Chain A
Amino acid sequence: MTAASTETAAARPISPHLTVYKWGPHMLVSILHRATGDVLGTVGALVLTAWLVCAALGGDIYTAFVGHANAWYGQVVLIGLTWSILQHTASGLRHLLLDTGAGYELDSNRLWSWIVAILPALLTAAFWLYIYYGKL
């Protein structure tokens, strides 16, 4: 933005009042969708590729990879990626539904935003309880 346009903008009423809004869960799932997508596109893709390449490189290197994956920091990364996948998937499904033109009524939008914000964390816990204990 140029200096001139900033001066003009300051003198006028600003619409649509970008600093005046009421917080809602749809904002949370929106920014989580972007944040988890960015993490998956970078860290997630690197972990996926490293897993396959280490396996192809052979026994010792793959053993080292599995060792890192099973260490506490590896588990933190994998649990974080699991939640990111499920969070991104849930809000992605929400977007696919919104693409059809459905789900814009204020009440149902709010309800499904809350479900999308909470359910992935529960599913992540269920997945890792199954991994650790072999049952839910």
Chain B
Amino acid sequence: MDGGTELGKVRGLGSARAGTHHWTTQRLTAIANLMLLTWLGVTLATVNLSSADAMTRWLSSPFAAVPLVLLVISVFTHLRLGLTVLIEDYVHDAALKLGSLVLLTFFTFGGMGFALFAIAKLAFAAATGAPSAG
């Protein structure tokens, strides 16, 4: 057996030119999270959101609903990248690793879906004048 892999075997199987995608996306969502979580922290400290009506009033503004939508997307994208590395580092059994990554993917998109639907429901309930939930 020779030291390298034959060209015929590796052609088309090399870099997909996506080697830095994980790294750059993690940094990009980190910067987005920094801005959006600062906004959410200031909001939670200054706006009274202790009732469902208050939540509906708050999210009726696009300047609340849209940043919150972006926050959910950015946060879930970032946590998926981070927890992927956690699983790759600590789960060594191949089947368990694959299962964990699948579960993480479901968790990511499931959580994102529920959170985005909830924001949309609150935002549009106010916008259309429909009675707020409850």
Tell me the A residues contacting B by CB distance below 8 Å: 34, 37-38, 40-42, 44-46, 48-49, 52-53, 55-63, 66, 85, 89, 92-93, 96, 99, 127, 130-131
Q: What are 18 sample pairs from A and B whose C-beta atoms fall under 8 A apart?
A: A37-B82, A41-B82, A46-B111, A48-B75, A52-B72, A52-B114, A52-B115, A55-B56, A55-B122, A56-B133, A58-B134, A61-B134, A66-B51, A85-B37, A96-B27, A96-B30, A99-B27, A127-B45
* Across-interface contacts of A131 in B (CB, < 8 A): 45
Known pairs A59-B133, A127-B41; A66 contacts B121 (CB<8 A): no
On whether A56 and B86 interact (CB within 8 A), knowing A49-B114, A127-B45, A130-B45, the answer reads no
For the complex, give the distance between the alpha carbons of A48 and B31 in Å: 19
* Majority SS at the chain A contact face: helix
B51 touches A89 (CB 8 A): no
**Bound: A66/B11 CA distance, A:** 58
Query: Count of chain B residues with Cβ under 8 Å from any Cβ of A?
Result: 35
Shortest CB-to-CB span from B104 to chain A, Å, is 9
Please, which residues of chain B bring their CB within 8 A of the CB of A99?
A: 27
B66, CB-defined interface residue at 8 Å: no
Select one of B51, B107, B111, B114 contacting A63, CB under 8 A: B51
Q: A38-B83, A130-B45 are in contact. Are A59 and B51 (CB under 8 A)?
A: yes
Q: A57 contacts which chain B residues (CB < 8 A)?
A: 133-134
Does residue B98 face the partner (Cβ distance < 8 Å to A)? no
C-alpha spacing A45/B107, complex, angstroms: 10
Residues in chain B within 8 A of chain A (CB atoms): 27, 30-31, 33-34, 37, 41, 45, 50-53, 55-56, 68, 72, 75-76, 79-80, 82-83, 86, 107, 111, 114-115, 117-119, 121-122, 132-134
CA gap between A40 and B75 in the complex, in Å? 10
For the complex, what is the distance from the CA of A45 to the CA of B80, rounded to whole Å?
A: 11
Residues of chain B within 8 A of A49, CB atoms compared: 111, 114-115, 118
Chain A neighbourhood of B55, CB < 8 A: 55, 62
Q: How far apart sit A37 and B89, CA to CA, in the bound complex (Å)? A: 14
Is B34 a contact partner of A62 (Cβ separation < 8 A)?
A: no
Q: How far is the CB of A78 from chain B (nearest CB, A)?
A: 10
